[in-house]
Structure formats: structure tokens, C-alpha cells
Homo-oligomer: A and B are copies of this chain.
Amino acid sequence: MALSERKLKILQAIITDFINSAEPIGSRTLSKKLGISISPATIRNEMSDLEDMGYLTHPHTSAGRVPSDKAYRLYVNSLMEKYELQEDDKNKITARLSNKFDELDKALANAAEILSELTNLTSFALTPGVDSNRLKYINLIPVDEKNLVMMLVTETGKVSNKIVKTTEPYSKDKIEFLSKFLTVNYKGKKLSDIMATDILESCEKDLTNIGKLVENIMPNFLSTLENMMNVELFLDGMTNIFSIPEYNNLERAKMFLEIINRKKELTEVLLNRDSGVIITIGNENIDQAIQECSLITASYCVDGKCIGKLGVIGPTRMNYGEITSIIEYMTENLSKSFRLTEGEEDE
């Protein structure tokens, strides 16, 4: 059976209505709402067909129809009209985003906050990922006779440092040498690649003259690298779940919040998503736990590389058009502001 023009129209009406009301919609109500006059009975027949085709379901015999994941997918791909953000909203977003972008972490936490407020959903922001992260700057800075600070900066602007305690006083020469050695060997290399090679061994061969110092510093070098590889997840608007009818019962709200709070797993899910605007609906999600939710994510760029993610998670019944526009606009904005602050080599 093919999807006639009319079927599509009915399906679309059901979906948009359900997105707004969260109530199953019946034939009589729908008949009244549709512009053209089709009788409830006809609509019932069409609905029945749509159900056979897998686009609608029934919570129970005497309830109205509800769109299935398949219906949402069709909706997102072709039925949904493009949502244009108001100029006014755009300005508000831009203003709030540009508040404080001097620290990546803060900017992202801020972005997540804005996003959850605008969408009334749970939002998240993920710091730039590992893959294309390269070391840009390595330095060892003396503090006092037995303490020094190791500082690493990546191309994406991530800074990490650590106080290193040496077992015996060090000479300035030695740490300068080591600093240069590290720079020569690892600058421009990917974090993951450095981690993968057996650094400790190769260093100890080359650096026998510095002796003990290497023993103090290299393990710290590695652990700091590891540290920088850890993407960080910012969540916001968790309690928005309580105002969503679908989650208006303890069991479901609890489940949702427990999933959301398993940050490691959630991060994993997000890291595995492609770049660009990605929408996954209900059972399209590979992860069992979130097959009742939809996820919309988009990636933002730092230094021209699209590796961080911003997005929302909520019930499959969400306003895909509007939310997608918001996220897209926000990530574009973030990308722009990160380019401006971090470096302007291209100008």
C-alpha cells in the first residue's frame, strides 16, 4: 500500500498534534482540525491503514492514535516544515553565548544551560574529543627547588597542568633540556598516538644523562595526557523531565534520571555519533536504555575542527524542527566564537 497524499496529510496532522498535546488523537477530533472536511469514519479507515503500515499505534482499543518511531522518522525526513528562528531569539542566544567564552568549559556549561532553557529538555555539551587533538605546547616550569609545574596545551586550546614533586633538587638546565626534548618529540602529535607508543622505554634510552628527573616527570606526563584525553560532559535541565507528561510517573522519571546520570555511558553514546546535525529517534538508538528517547546532537568546531557536541535528549515526541534549528544555530555560534578567541591565523 502506498502513502497517498491524504494519508500523508492525516499522518502529519496526527504527529504535529501529538507533539503539542501529548494526547492520543481520535478520528473525530482530527476531522474537526483538518481544513478539508473528511468524515471521522474515513479518517478511521485511513488511520487503520496507517497503523497496518506501522506509522501509528494504539495505547489500547478505545484510545486515539499515536505516532510510531517510524512516523517520526518520516516526519523528520520529509513532512516537517523547516523552522526559522526569530531574529529576536537569535539575538538573545548570541548575546548569552558571548557572555564569557574565555574558558571552553564555562562556555559549554553556559551553552548547555541556555539550550535546556530554550527547549525545556535535558541538554548536554561535550568538550572536544580526542581524535584530532594534538599537542601544541609543552613546558616544564620551575616553582621551587623540588617542585615544578608541567604544562600542556593542545591545538584545541585545552590546557592542563600538574605540580610535579621531584625526589631531589633539580637543576634548571636539566628541566629546560627535558622540556625541549619533549617538545621536539611530541609537539604536533596526537594525544592518543603518544599514549599508544611506549614512551617510558624510549625516553629512558635517550635520557640517561638526566637520570632521576625522568623518573619523576614521565609518569606525570602520561597521566596528564590521559587527563586531557578525557572529554567532559556538561548536563543541564535534568529536572525539566518532570514537566514532560510522558515522565509523569516515578518509575519513568527515575529511569530517565538514572540513565542521564551514568555520565560515562552517556558520553560514550555521544562520542560515537557522527558530526553535523544528527537525529536519532527511539528504537533507532543502539543503546537499549534510551530507546524510548530521541537524541538530537550537532557538533561545534574549535580551530576549524568539528569535534565537540551539543544536544538534547527527550521523549520521541519532541518538536524536532524547532529544536534542531536552535541547536544548529547555537553550534554555529559556538564555532564562530571559539575561532575568534583561540587564534586568528587565517586573517
Binding site for B on A (CB under 8 A): 102-103, 137, 139, 141, 143, 147, 149, 151, 153, 157, 159, 161-163, 165, 223, 227, 238-239, 242, 248-250, 253-254, 257-258, 261, 341-343
Contact = CB atoms under 8 A, between A and B. Distances in A.
B250 A238 contact: no
Contacts of A238: 257, 261
Task: Please give me the 6 A-B residue pairs with the lowest Cβ-Cβ distance, nearest first.
Answer: A242-B254, A239-B258, A239-B257, A137-B143, A159-B161, A239-B261
A253 B255 CA distance: 13
B153 A157 contact: no
A343 B143 CA distance: 13
B162 A153 contact: no
Given A141-B139, A242-B254, A227 B103 contact: yes
Contacts of A258: 239
Contacts of A157: 163
A253 B238 CA distance: 13
12 contacts: A102-B162, A137-B143, A137-B149, A141-B141, A141-B151, A149-B153, A157-B163, A159-B163, A239-B254, A239-B257, A250-B250, A250-B253
Nearest to A136: B143
